[in-house]
């Protein structure tokens, strides 16, 4: 097995150019999937037999919650790679993830509150799922605050990477919180071992939204990654090419 | 159309939830593009300071 692809992915000029080339390939399918998912979720899917049209919040809540966890996991893995192999590009990926993940964690909490009020009778409860998701938001904010507080990028990379890696224990806690503890929050209805607990007219738009948000994340990440890679380069001559292009 | 906007009486919860999420989606695009143009401007300044020699 050859590792050249790995080494190339650690090279800033290569990554900068590759990220620019790949962005539209993720952005356009993401846009189509999200528009299709919105149409399917808001118009085509039938109302829920218990929750009526209130259940349609799932089409924005579940993708936001999925983003909050998936982006954090990506950030922690990239941070670990950066720490272990001392790869600048990996640190740049981790740093790019944080604002995206933080904003979708915020969206997951707000949409969850808006779903909780009509269904549970409360916007907020100190429930295991809700509390661990709020801790995730604080982890993201702590990560960003730590980075902002350290002037030297290399030191900021290492310190924040450590926080990201340690904080990853919260991810399985959030996911399994509804199984481990008594929670107001419902148990997983899509990401479970048996078949999803939904008819396909409800499920398909949800899957489109989940995939659409994932591709959208990659597209936004690629734009942010170029910015982080550029900020880390001090003396490389390719910068001239990069900024003149 | 009226019934659609009413969301079976859940309009006050469904529409704000969609609005918040779509705002976050749009803002992330704006922020990412702004960060990139800021980094490019910074890089250009660094090049200029060195008199064109990287």
Ramachandran region, residue A127 (left: φ > 0; alpha: ψ -120 to 50; beta: rest): beta
Using a CB–CB cutoff of 8 Å, tell me whether A107 touches chain B.
yes
Quote ipTM for the complex: 0.93
Question: Which regions in chain A score pLDDT beneath 70?
Answer: 1-2, 193, 235-236, 245
Read off the pLDDT of residues B1-10 as tens digits, 9 standing for 90 and up.
888 999 999 9
Instruction: Of A230, A111, A132, give the one whose Cα is nearest residue B43.
Output: A230
Residue B52's pLDDT band (boundaries 50, 70, 90)? Answer: low
Give the list of residues 6+ apart from residue B14 with CB closer than 8 angstroms, or none.
A53, A54, A56, A57, A114, B7
> Are A108 and A210 spatial neighbours (Cβ–Cβ below 8 Å)?
no
**How far is the C-alpha of A239 from the C-alpha of A233, rounded, in Å?**
8
Q: Widest CA span of chain B, in angstroms? A: 66
The domain spans of chain B are: 2-49
Judged by CB atoms closer than 8 Å, whether chains meet at B42 and A231 is answered as yes
Read off the pLDDT of residues A189-198 as tens digits, 9 standing for 90 and up.
877 767 777 8
Length, in residues, of chain B:
54
Give the list of residues 6+ apart from residue A77 with CB closer than 8 angstroms, or none.
none
Q: How far is A210 from chain B (nearest CA, A)?
A: 13
pTM, rounded to two decimals? 0.94
Q: What 3-state DSSP class applies to A245?
A: coil
Compute the radius of gyration of chain B from its Cα atoms: 22
DSSP string, A86-138: --HHHHHHHHHHHHHHHHHHHHHHHHHHHHHHHHHS-S----HHHHHHHHHHH
**How far is the C-alpha of A221 from the C-alpha of B36, rounded, in Å?**
11
Read off the pLDDT of residues B13-38 as tens digits, 9 standing for 90 and up.
999 999 999 999 999 999 999 999 99
**How far is the C-alpha of A171 from the C-alpha of A72, rounded, in Å?**
8
Cβ contacts of B40 on chain A, cutoff 8 Å: 227, 230, 242-243
H or E segment and range at residue B18: helix B11-49
CA dist list (Å): A233 to A19, A89, A149, A237, B1: 16, 10, 20, 9, 54
Judged by CB atoms closer than 8 Å, whether chains meet at B7 and A240 is answered as no
Q: How far is B51 from chain A (nearest CA, A)?
A: 12
Using a CB–CB cutoff of 8 Å, tell me whether A104 touches chain B.
yes
What pLDDT, on a 0 to 100 scale, did the predictor assign at position A45?
A: 95
Instruction: Of A82, A56, A49, A240, give the one whose Cα is nearest residue A156.
Output: A82
Which DSSP symbol is given to A40?
Answer: I
The domain spans of chain A are: 63-189+203-231
What pLDDT, on a 0 to 100 scale, did the predictor assign at position B53?
A: 53
């Amino acid at each position: 097995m050859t590792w050249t692809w790995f080494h190339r992915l650690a090279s800033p000029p290569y990554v900068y150019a590759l990220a620019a080339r790949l962005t539209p390939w993720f952005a356009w399918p993401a846009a189509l999937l999200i528009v299709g998912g919105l149409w399917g979720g808001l118009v085509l899917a039938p109302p829920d037999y218990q929750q009526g049209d209130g259940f349609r919040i799932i089409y924005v809540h579940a993708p936001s919650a999925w983003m909050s966890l998936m982006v954090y996991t990506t950030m922690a893995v990239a941070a670990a790679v950066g720490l272990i192999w001392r790869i600048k590009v990996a640190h740049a990926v981790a740093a790019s993830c944080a604002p995206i993940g933080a904003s979708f964690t915020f969206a997951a909490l707000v949409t969850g509150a808006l779903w909780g009020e009509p269904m549970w009778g409360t916007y907020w409860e100190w429930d295991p799922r809700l509390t661990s998701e709020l801790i995730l938001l604080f982890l993201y904010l702590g990560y960003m605050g730590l980075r902002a507080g350290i002037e030297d990028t290399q030191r900021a990379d290492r310190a924040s990477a450590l926080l990201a890696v340690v904080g990853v224990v919260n991810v399985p806690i959030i996911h399994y919180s509804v199984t481990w503890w008594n929670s107001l929050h419902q148990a997983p209805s899509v990401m479970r071992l048996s078949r999803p607990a939904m008819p396909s007219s409800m499920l398909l738009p949800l899957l489109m939204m989940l995939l659409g948000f994932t591709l959208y994340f990659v597209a936004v990440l690629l734009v942010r990654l170029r910015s982080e890679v550029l900020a880390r380069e001090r003396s490389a001559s390719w910068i001239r090419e990069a900024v003149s292009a | 159309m009226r019934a659609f906007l009413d969301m079976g009486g859940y309009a006050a919860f469904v529409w704000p939830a969609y609005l918040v999420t779509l705002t976050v989606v749009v803002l992330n695009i704006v922020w990412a593009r702004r960060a990139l143009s800021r980094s490019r401007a910074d890089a250009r300044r660094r090049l200029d300071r060195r008199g064109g020699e990287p």
